């Protein structure tokens, strides 16, 4: 596997105003999610943004919390963090698919979300992906959220000159 290289500053978006990110964590596998949070918050801080962290009971609740926050709070971007490790039942598929689909639906509504919910076969895979010194998927999720936010803001800026303009002078 290739290690994520997030150190190049030219990959980090620049924002014209202070940015606030909500990090939503499902800490079922605390050792894994602590590393994901560490990677994500380091990336957010390096990017010059501020963040809040909230925890929810499990990966299925992450999209719900982000949806509520988007309606009730003033956040610019969201980072979803958690870990789902395959077990002996089909519950794994349900949790993986439904949490991912929930985040996708929120993203299609215009939210800037980085999905850092790991879906893995075993603890060793989870540890490698969550470790800030290895694959650093927490930082990658934060970078994705900030990158989408930057893209959205750039499109909003361009959109200001689009639309019907009356030629009638008043």
Cα dist from 154 to 52, 98, 112, 145, 157, whole Å: 24, 30, 13, 14, 5
The residue written with tokens 């943004």 in the block is 49
CA distance readout (Å), 3 to 13, 30, 131, 136: 21, 22, 11, 8
Distance CA 77, CA 5 (A): 21
CA 80 to chain centre: 5
Residue 161: C-alpha distances to residues 15, 16, 153, 157, 170 (Å):
20, 19, 14, 8, 20
Residues belonging to the active site: 91
């Amino acid at each position: 596997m290739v290690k994520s290289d997030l150190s190049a500053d030219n990959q980090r978006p620049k924002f014209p105003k202070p940015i606030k990110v909500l990090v939503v964590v499902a800490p079922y596998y605390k050792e894994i999610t602590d590393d994901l949070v560490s990677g994500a918050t380091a990336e957010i801080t390096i990017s010059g943004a501020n963040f809040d962290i909230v925890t929810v009971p499990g990966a299925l609740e992450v999209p719900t919390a982000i949806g509520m926050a988007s309606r009730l709070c003033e956040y610019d971007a969201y980072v979803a963090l958690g870990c789902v490790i395959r077990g002996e039942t089909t519950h794994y598929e349900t949790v993986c698919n439904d949490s991912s689909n929930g985040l996708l639906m929120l993203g299609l509504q215009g939210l800037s979300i980085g999905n850092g919910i790991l879906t893995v076969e075993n603890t060793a895979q989870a540890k490698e992906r969550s470790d800030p010194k290895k694959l650093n998927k927490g930082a990658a999720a934060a970078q994705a959220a900030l990158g989408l936010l930057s893209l959205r803001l750039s499109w909003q800026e361009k959109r200001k000159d689009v639309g019907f303009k009356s030629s009638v002078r008043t």
